[in-house]
Structure 1
Amino acid sequence: MKLIHTADWHLGQSFHGQERHAEHRAFLTWLLDTLVARRADALLVAGDIFDVVNPSLRAQELLYDFIVSAHERLPRLDIVLIAGNHDSGNRIELPAPLMRRLRTHALGRVNWLDDGTLDAERLLVPLTDTAGETRAWCLALPFLRPAEVTGSARASHDAEDKAPNDYVAGISRVHRQLVEAARHRREPGQALVAMSHAHLHGAAVSEASERPIVIGGEESISAALFPPEIAYVAMGHLHRAQQVGEPRIRYSGSPLPLDFSEVSYPHQVMEVTLDGEALGDTQAIPVPRPVAMHRIGPGPLDRVLAELEALEDDPALERERWPWLEVRVELEAPIPDLRARVETALKDKSLRLLRLERRLPRVEEDAAAARVDLQALGPRRLFERTWASRWGEPPGEEVLADFDRLRQEVLDADDGDDSAREARP
């Protein structure tokens, strides 16, 4: 049977204040055509479907229109969605009963039985071929938040739990219990396919656009959690497409660049062919880029202006397809009218300037410390600089871990409020 693995759509992303609905719509149209052309049996979406826990109505409309269209064109297609750390698990699961009628399975949370063991059955999704025969089982594991996997009711600190902290130990237990349940559920000839949204040891991170899942590096898990009997592991969270250790363990990567730092990444979906219980083949399918991205510089202003003048222009493009542009200028001294000069070079060009970065000489670092670009710096580095300025030394690992935990609690606050509202009558 044939699967398409994708992840990290981030529908509804605001890109430096600009909407990207046209790009996401173009990608989903291409993906649907690809599913039809490749005669796929299943589509796996490994988390971060939306960019925020409370996505806009337009972002949700993109997802649900895609699901309906996919069912109309491929009535036997199985779709499996899991929540990522950017998603609200409750929101992902809310329309699940309706989506099941469209052969779409949405998993946003893990549940626990009265005896403290994982309710693994709801996370095992049968994948069928065109004849309706179950050829594989998808172990669909949504992003696991600390509150879901830690605590005495859900933790038995046995000898197998050799993880560096309770959170990673909890994730490991969930994986082991789900794999064990899949072993009992499968029948001879049926493959096992795992889908998870997590950070694996040794995988390459895109620092500029990926939110640390919980505690910057300590939350990463071992690929050894996926035993060899699992034919393919479809990972989400990291935006750079990559293999982790073995050909069967892969991040598909994001289908679109989510930051200018990702312009040079290969953006793709993975076609996975299963041969009985084993992995037959994998093939990367490049995703066409509906809107171009240009990075100019860093360099001296004269050179940057010359590069801007040389940029090709297509006046026939609709405005929503105009390329995104980042300009980085190295300065020897402040230039008050820098933006005006850059915009003059872009006059009458079908380009959208999203970011203008001024790079000052190193000798001015101390003087410029109070005038940082918060968007480029990021919360963690800003905290480190503030701490060092106040105490005369960088923060230790424990302090940084506490900061990351507090930051994640703030990021998850909207998700928690959403859960509380849904619990009220």
Structure 2
Amino acid sequence: MAVHFFHTSDWHLGQFFHNHDREYEHAQFLDWLLEQIQEKQPNALFIAGDIFDVINPASSAQRQLYQFLADAHAIAPHMQTLMIAGNHDSGYRIEQVEPLLAKFKAKAVGVIQRNADNQLDLDRLLVPIYDAENKVIAWCLTLPFLRTAEITGLNEQTQNAQNAIAYLHQQLIAEAKRRKTEDQALILMSHAHMQGGETSDSERPIIIGHEEALSTALFDDVIDYVALGHLHKPQKVQHPHIRYSGSPIPLSFSEIQYKHQVLEVKIDPQAAPEQRLQLGSLLIPRSVQLHRIRGSLDEVFQQLKALPQGTVERICQRDYLEIEYSTDVPPPVDLRQQIEQTLPEQRYRLLRICRVYTPQEDQAADQSKIDLAPPTPDSLFKQLWSKMGYQPDASVERDFMQLLIEAQHSLEQEQP
């Protein structure tokens, strides 16, 4: 029998976008998703990590998730919801509410655990998917964001992160093969950066064992579908059955052109190879638009005047606006005031005005962008490294990012 499920990821509930919360946009997405669940009645919903935007999400973000799970269970009581932790999530936090999740036929896998013999606890990572008659029709191999401390040191094959990742995949897939029958599908859900994946500027770097991207060679041919999370652009990775669903809303201006979607997947293990996997895209309506205006100051003001007019009463429903202008002379001191006076009232949220300095012909050809965005730990490290007189060194940068991730992991474990 075919298994029918939705693949989504990177919700980032609780995100603040230039100090504006996204609660309204997430609410619109979740309401839309409930409509799709009610109409399609899938066997399962997979959320492939980065459920929340931060490891300690606000109560309003947690309430959105749990209210959605309750509503989804009410309209599709047979549907299972399976979630994994991403690098933005606290794996321990999302697992703490397991009794609550069970009431909504939901499960969260946040961390890689070991059993009493210090071996990988594979039982927790292999989740059966049932049909309406309570028959197992598929197995989902769940791999949350893999942290070095959780997977290394098991045996001589796991002395470093890359070997440990390969060993974990091998052991998990081998156990899945032992359990599955010919009429059952195998689905692997993972939160990782795969080689060949296209990124945006809103994804936090993942570096594991000095290697940022993992190889699709980790996935055995027996896997029918790989449901990935982390990259926000919907895309396949080398093979049609290895997919990022992408984020449901644009999380930065670099994602304006993304076609945000939920993937609808059907797998019939007993069908002919060319008919075994059926993929469909459910395009998500964008409830709030993002506008990015670029050009000279004259061109910027022309584009501002051409923007859609009309009043939007609620601030949370107003479009976002970013302006990047080029000039070879100092801008007027009242530039922001001029821009705001040109815009229709109560329609846009002006988030950022950025100047790109355009040098004269007799000056250096390189352009330099002046931006007042707050520095990040990695950008500060690179600045200090340069000021100390050292040349750029990729291995040093990777070591620093590894230490940064481990420090963040330690903070997560200290969370109450």
TM-score (norm 2): 0.92
In structure 2, what residue type is equivalent to 1:359? V
Q: Which of 329, 332, 341 lines up with 1:333 in the alignment?
A: 329
Aligned equivalents of 2:353, 2:210: Cα separation in 1:
30
Aligned equivalents of 1:329, 1:142: Cα separation in 2:
41
Q: Is the 1:143–1:198 Cα contact (8 Å) retained in structure 2?
A: yes
What is residue 223 of structure 2 aligned with on the other side?
230
Shift of 1:121: 0.8
Counterparts of residues 34-73 of structure 1 (less than 5 Å): 34-73=36-75
Q: Is the 2:313–2:346 Cα contact (8 Å) retained in structure 1?
A: no
The 1:39–1:317 alpha-carbon spacing in structure 2 relative to 1, beyond 3 Å, is farther
User: Which piece of structure 1 moves more, 17-26 or 180-189?
Assistant: 180-189
**2:245 corresponds to 1:248:** no
Counterparts of residues 152-231 of structure 1 (less than 5 Å): 154-157=154-157, 166-206=160-200, 208-214=201-207, 218-231=211-224
What is residue 409 of structure 2 aligned with on the other side?
412
Secondary structure in structure 1 of the residue aligned to 2:195: coil
Q: Is the 1:105–1:125 Cα contact (8 Å) retained in structure 2?
A: no
The 1:271–1:217 alpha-carbon spacing in structure 2 relative to 1, beyond 3 Å, is farther
Q: Is the 1:168–1:219 Cα contact (8 Å) retained in structure 2?
A: no
Q: Which of 363, 376, 385 lines up with 1:387 in the alignment?
A: 385
Aligned equivalents of 1:257, 1:269: Cα separation in 2:
14
Aligned equivalents of 1:68, 1:186: Cα separation in 2:
30
Structure 1 alignment gaps of length 5 or more: none
In structure 1, what residue type is equivalent to 2:378? R
Per-residue Cα deviation, 1:369-408 (whole angstroms, up to 9, x for no partner) = 9x75344x754344334422430x5321221112212322
What is residue 269 of structure 2 aligned with on the other side?
276
User: Which piece of structure 1 moves more, 405-414 or 64-73?
Assistant: 405-414
Aligned equivalents of 2:173, 2:217: Cα separation in 1:
12
Shift of 1:136: 0.4
What is residue 303 of structure 2 aligned with on the other side?
307
What is residue 28 of structure 1 aligned with on the other side?
30
The 1:64–1:301 alpha-carbon spacing in structure 2 relative to 1, beyond 3 Å, is same
Shift of 1:409: 3.2
Q: Is the 1:135–1:276 Cα contact (8 Å) retained in structure 2?
A: no
Shift of 1:130: 2.1
The 1:196–1:334 alpha-carbon spacing in structure 2 relative to 1, beyond 3 Å, is same
In structure 2, what residue type is equivalent to 1:23? E
Per-residue Cα deviation, 1:135-176 (whole angstroms, up to 9, x for no partner) = 10111111111111123xx1422xxx8xxx921221221111
What is residue 83 of structure 1 aligned with on the other side?
85
Q: Which of 393, 400, 414 lines up with 2:397 in the alignment?
A: 400
Q: Which of 272, 282, 285 lines up with 1:285 in the alignment?
A: 282
Q: Which of 257, 260, 284 lines up with 1:267 in the alignment?
A: 260
What is residue 141 of structure 1 aligned with on the other side?
143
The 1:76–1:218 alpha-carbon spacing in structure 2 relative to 1, beyond 3 Å, is same
In structure 2, what residue type is equivalent to 1:388? S
Shift of 1:85: 0.4
Shift of 1:358: 1.2
Shift of 1:11: 0.2
Provide runs of 4+ in structure 1 moved above 6 Å. 364-369
Aligned equivalents of 1:365, 1:98: Cα separation in 2:
60
Shift of 1:43: 0.2
Aligned equivalents of 1:318, 1:309: Cα separation in 2:
22
The 1:75–1:22 alpha-carbon spacing in structure 2 relative to 1, beyond 3 Å, is same
TM-score (norm 1): 0.90
User: Which piece of structure 1 moves more, 240-249 or 353-362?
Assistant: 353-362
Secondary structure in structure 2 of the residue aligned to 1:326: strand
The 1:374–1:408 alpha-carbon spacing in structure 2 relative to 1, beyond 3 Å, is farther
Counterparts of residues 107-122 of structure 1 (less than 5 Å): 107-122=109-124
Aligned equivalents of 2:367, 2:356: Cα separation in 1:
13
Q: Is the 1:241–1:267 Cα contact (8 Å) retained in structure 2?
A: yes
What is residue 372 of structure 2 aligned with on the other side?
373
In structure 1, what residue type is equivalent to 2:254? S
Aligned equivalents of 2:209, 2:327: Cα separation in 1:
33
Q: Is the 2:92–2:413 Cα contact (8 Å) retained in structure 1?
A: no
Q: Is the 1:192–1:277 Cα contact (8 Å) retained in structure 2?
A: no
Aligned equivalents of 2:391, 2:349: Cα separation in 1:
38
Aligned equivalents of 1:344, 1:215: Cα separation in 2:
49
Aligned equivalents of 1:343, 1:216: Cα separation in 2:
48
Structure 2 alignment gaps of length 5 or more: none
Shift of 1:3: 0.6
Number of aligned positions between the proteins: 406
In structure 1, what residue type is equivalent to 2:292? R
Q: Is the 2:356–2:367 Cα contact (8 Å) retained in structure 1?
A: no
The 1:148–1:221 alpha-carbon spacing in structure 2 relative to 1, beyond 3 Å, is same
The 1:367–1:26 alpha-carbon spacing in structure 2 relative to 1, beyond 3 Å, is closer
> Cα RMSD (Å) of the superposition?
2.2
Q: Which of 301, 314, 318 lines up with 2:314 in the alignment?
A: 318
Shift of 1:109: 0.8
In structure 2, what residue type is equivalent to 1:132? N
Aligned equivalents of 2:27, 2:328: Cα separation in 1:
43
What is residue 356 of structure 2 aligned with on the other side?
359
Aligned equivalents of 2:270, 2:120: Cα separation in 1:
25
